[in-house]
Structure 1
């Protein structure tokens, strides 16, 4: 076997190993969800899923408010992504292109907010949300998650705008374009990969968030799936198969969103690689 073939084989093997490590937790949840009680406590773990037990997913959806939990998680994640990216684009553009008093301090404060854990913000946010009647509502959860993830989204997009040549905007100004037009027509298309990356970060944060959700949401039908799954854990026993089935269904939308956004990230990164 020649040298290039050996190198290609090693690369393929390496990719398959990394892919296996990444996919195995999802596969293990699927196998566990389809395992019987005897398989769960057997001396040798079951590695092949028992497809005759696929009804456990139907039973899991029928148990409690699983469908509502998944819907609530999707609403909160999409709402947080829209709020944080929608506000992060103009904020990142302003920090990159405009000079104003306190600009450096604003950037430092945005960076320092990422050093604060969510648990430290729960008490003041709870008091604030109680005053404005935002407790036990998905809108309040979207605002809390959006405010928490907005600084990192804005800083990511600021760095992306920094990489856009100013000459493009100067050409636009010659044609009479206003700052908003420059942002929408020139910068947004060019920083699309960074917008996609920021969207993935915001979506995953809101999708997996637990502290705000368990504190601000009381009604079971309003809880996101991250909180609802924990409710299956009981003092006497825990339905492992049901928990794994719900966790598997909870993971799939996040994976699907990542794969959807990844396509745009790759497309944006390679768009200007070849000149025609």
Structure 2
């Protein structure tokens, strides 16, 4: 019993250390945002937030620009996540279950697209979007993000579907299920953890994306927060407290979405783990 208690205590300490290391950047942004100029440039850094400086958050949201940037980021990230998963599920299913000419080549092409940096795709995408009047629009930016993240989503879901026994699909067809019903009622519930993982990948890519956003969006009111935060950096000075306050608000929705999706990842991994 003593060894078990010692082992449990060590595991708890290890988990707390890992959580502290992971949460420290977020905490330090809060401390910096709630520091006065004297504390910010003092010889010894301030380790605790000064909540009397909460006005910096009010100032950051005062003119409505930051709230608009955060809303734009949310719309872009949500649209990218929904569209990439909506297209990735049937694409991954087709790559996993159907045989057609050029299947191996298509898989390699999807894999090779992940080796291309975003900066290499900016010029051709800019020319293409200008032709179809997609520049300076959130919809065009969503399409650009989907084009970049869809291959990895499809490949992850293909691997998940490969692990599903075909006998389950055959049993559903014997019961009269159509192909679409087989996909949505048999495969999708079984690959729920992989769908949640790809949702996290898609959301974080679109939420943090900067290169496409700064290139394709011209109107300041349509910019996401990743671009808006960079606009605080001035030629003569940078309001560090304001930047950290906005960055803190920019980070919280991403952390909340990760915690929300993590619940479904765990639930999907433990589904069916009961005695028959």
- Which TM class, normalised by the smaller chain length? over 0.9
Give 1:52's aligned residue.
Answer: 52
Q: CA RMSD in A?
A: 1.0
Partner-residue secondary structure (3-state), 1:263: helix
* Cα deviation code 1:116-151 (max 9, x no counterpart): 000000000000000111100000000000110000
Paired with 1:104 and 1:177, the residues of 2 have a C-alpha distance of 29
* Cα deviation code 1:60-101 (max 9, x no counterpart): 112561111000000000000011000000000010011111
Paired with 1:2 and 1:45, the residues of 2 have a C-alpha distance of 41
Give 2:182's aligned residue.
Answer: 182
Give 2:230's aligned residue.
Answer: 230
Give 2:203's aligned residue.
Answer: 203
TM-score when normalising by structure 2: 0.98
Query: Is 1:213 aligned to 2:202, yes or no?
Result: no
Task: Give the C-alpha shift of residue 178 in structure 1.
Answer: 2.1
* Cα deviation code 1:129-174 (max 9, x no counterpart): 0011110000000000011000000001001101111110010111
Paired with 2:64 and 2:266, the residues of 1 have a C-alpha distance of 40
Residues 77-96 of structure 1: matches in 2 within 5 Å?
77-96=77-96
TM-score when normalising by structure 1: 0.98
* Cα deviation code 1:222-263 (max 9, x no counterpart): 000000000000011000000000000000000010011111
Query: Is 1:153 aligned to 2:153, yes or no?
Result: yes
Query: Is 1:250 aligned to 2:224, yes or no?
Result: no
Paired with 2:225 and 2:197, the residues of 1 have a C-alpha distance of 24
Give 2:162's aligned residue.
Answer: 162
Partner-residue secondary structure (3-state), 1:218: coil
Paired residue total: 276
Paired with 1:171 and 1:271, the residues of 2 have a C-alpha distance of 20
Query: Is 1:275 aligned to 2:265, yes or no?
Result: no
Task: Give the C-alpha shift of residue 273 in structure 1.
Answer: 1.4
Task: Give the C-alpha shift of residue 55 in structure 1.
Answer: 1.4
Give 1:26's aligned residue.
Answer: 26
Paired with 2:89 and 2:77, the residues of 1 have a C-alpha distance of 18
Which ranges in structure 2 are unaligned for 5 or more consecutive residues? none
Paired with 2:104 and 2:71, the residues of 1 have a C-alpha distance of 40
Paired with 2:191 and 2:212, the residues of 1 have a C-alpha distance of 31
Paired with 1:240 and 1:63, the residues of 2 have a C-alpha distance of 18
Residues 256-267 of structure 1: matches in 2 within 5 Å?
256-267=256-267
Query: Is 1:141 aligned to 2:146, yes or no?
Result: no
